[in-house]
Amino acid sequence: MKIAIYATLAAATFALPAVAQDAANGEKEFRKCKACHMIQSPDGTDVVKGGKTGPNLFNIVGRKAGTQEGFKYSDALVKLGEAGEVWTPEDLAGYITDPNKYVEEKVGDKSLKTKMTFKMAKNQADVVAFLAQHSPDAGGAAPAADAAPAAADAPAAEPAAPASN
């Protein structure tokens, strides 16, 4: 019995993420990014005022790489998108750690270089957690305060049919 308990506890421990993401810390860390990047909603509201050297990072999680409308991407990011890359939290964390190495590994072409020269050595998951909060298409943003909850509009669920043996 003790072995089963220990095995269950060990499995639960290993199932936890190695590093918890802290979006509040990610917001602080994003200060390093805003020299080149902004987070601006489609209606023009600045979530984070920043530079225009890099693309707008609103709704980045779940977006196909190299496809932000109105931004001129490097060939590296265009090829990454053409290869089907969609920014997941894990992929974004890998990319911001070392952009050129990431693209090289994903596309398999050492000659491709990104325009992003910054490499983030720590707290990548926190920054991505912060970005995910501003990615409503990926489920990161809460609905507007005046929006009615979807569950209230949905019809009641039908009761399940009794099981027959």
In which band, very low, low, confident or very high, does the pLDDT at 1 lie, cut at 50, 70 and 90? low
pLDDT of residue 9: 37
Summarize pLDDT for 122-158 with one digit per residue, the tens: 999 999 999 999 999 887 653 333 333 333 333 344 4
Our separate counts of H helices and E strands in the chain read: 7, 2
The model scores a pTM over 0.75: no
In this predicted structure, the answer to whether residue 63 has a pLDDT above a threshold of 70 is yes
Report all structural domains of the chain as residue ranges with CATH numbers, in order of start: 22-134 (1.10.760.10)
Q: What is the pLDDT of residue 145?
A: 33
Q: Give 8-42 pLDDT, tens digit per residue.
A: 333 333 333 434 579 999 999 999 999 999 999 99
- 51 near 38, Cβ under 8 Å? yes
| Structure confidence at residue 12 (pLDDT) | 36
What are 40-56's pLDDT values in tens digits? 999 999 999 999 999 99
Q: Give pLDDT tens digits for 69-119.
A: 999 999 999 999 999 999 999 999 999 999 999 999 999 999 999 999 999
Give the C-alpha separation, 74 to 104, whole Å. Answer: 13
Supply angle C-alpha 79, 85, 91, rounded to 5.
Answer: 120
